[in-house]
Amino acid sequence: MINGVRARQREQTRSALLRESRRLFAAEGYGAVGLAEIVRAAQVTKGALYHHFTGKPDLFRAVLGQVQQEVARKVADAAEAHDDPWDQLMAGCRAFLVSGADPDVQRIMLVDGPAVLGWNEWRALDEAASARHLAEALTALVEAGVIVPQPVEPLTRLLSGAMNEAALWLAASGGPGDLEDTWAALVRLLGALRPA
């Protein structure tokens, strides 16, 4: 019984740290948030933070992982709502743009993520969270003849980079029609992959 209580307390502490650090990182940016501010907001001690995380970069890595997994789930859910593989790709891409345009997601996932962790580690996390799914979808479309046969690896990188850049721009632009304009441009870009 005591072990169960302690396990719940540890999980509550970890959840509070993740929740509050995510809120602060999204609102202020990684560089502007100190550990003292995080532990005060989570109502825990620094010792409790260090029990769960090795420091601020490790805490940020966990927050980024959460955000990436949430975006990946939204993309997968949108894609799985369709039976046709092309419609799945299109729905997944749109879901990514919509999710990535959220300023909180954009700041953590696309701005601070590469800056804090470095490009290589950020890419590895992005690969595990969503780029792998994009590659699988493109591979299936090439194999089915839905898109022109071509190497999938560079195509995945090009589309992933384009969508990441579009999400960054959308978060900063704020224009009322920018999401729909971006989506229309992406539809034209993706449409060019199909046989004439």
pLDDT in tens, 121-175: 988 888 887 788 899 999 999 999 999 999 999 999 999 989 988 988 887 787 8
State the Cα–Cα distance between residues 132 and 120, nearest whole angstrom. Answer: 15
DSSP 85-96: HHHHHHHHHHHH
Q: What pLDDT score was predicted for residue 94?
A: 95
Q: What superfamily in CATH does domain 1-53 come from?
A: Homeodomain-like (1.10.10.60)
Q: What pLDDT score was predicted for residue 1?
A: 63
Q: What pLDDT score was predicted for residue 6?
A: 81
| Residue 105 contacts residue 99 (beta carbons within 8 Å) | yes
Domains of the chain, residue spans:
1-53, 57-191
DSSP for residue 43 = T
Give the CA distances from residue 163 to residues 39, 44, 95, 142, 167, in Å, rounded to whole numbers and listed in that order: 35, 38, 11, 20, 6
* Across 176-195, average pLDDT: 94
Q: What pLDDT score was predicted for residue 185?
A: 96
| Residue 155 contacts residue 137 (beta carbons within 8 Å) | no
pLDDT in tens, 59-75: 999 999 999 999 999 99
Q: pLDDT-derived band of residue 113, with 50, 70 and 90 as boundaries?
A: very high
Q: What percent of the chain has a predicted confidence (pLDDT) above 90?
A: 74
For 57-191, CATH gives 1.10.357.10
